[in-house]
């Protein structure tokens, strides 16, 4: 099944399994490189959100958005 991104371990690379957001948010995340099958790594997390690495980019996601991303 997988875990939501905020529940995943820091400093461990994984793959995005699914993004359970509306079409507009899914398209925004996909434009940032966050889509099913994409490698992603949690850099830091807090109650406010999650900082992830996607390729060479570092992306800050609010808790709500991060919670919609399921990872392996």
- Give the tens place of pLDDT for each residue, 6-60: 999 999 999 999 999 999 999 999 999 999 999 999 999 999 999 999 999 999 9
For residue 11, the domain's CATH number is 2.30.30.90
- The residues with which 50 forms a beta bridge, in sequence order, are 45, 61
Q: How far apart are CA 14 and CA 40, in angstroms?
A: 6
Token pair listed for 52:
């992830």
C-alpha–C-alpha distance, residues 67 and 11, integer Å: 18
3-state DSSP assignment of residue 64: helix
Sign of CA dihedral 42, 45, 51, 1: positive
Place of tokens 């850099």: 43
Say how many domains are in the chain: 1
Domain that holds residue 64: 3-71
**pLDDT confidence of 61, banded at 50, 70, 90?**
very high
């Amino acid at each position: 099944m997988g875990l939501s991104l905020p529940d995943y371990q820091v400093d461990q690379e994984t793959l995005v399994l699914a993004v359970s957001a509306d079409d507009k948010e899914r398209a925004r995340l996909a434009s940032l490189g966050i889509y099913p099958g994409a490698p992603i790594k949690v850099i830091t997390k807090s109650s406010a959100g999650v900082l992830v690495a996607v390729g060479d980019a570092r992306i800050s996601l609010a808790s709500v958005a991060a919670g919609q991303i399921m990872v392996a």
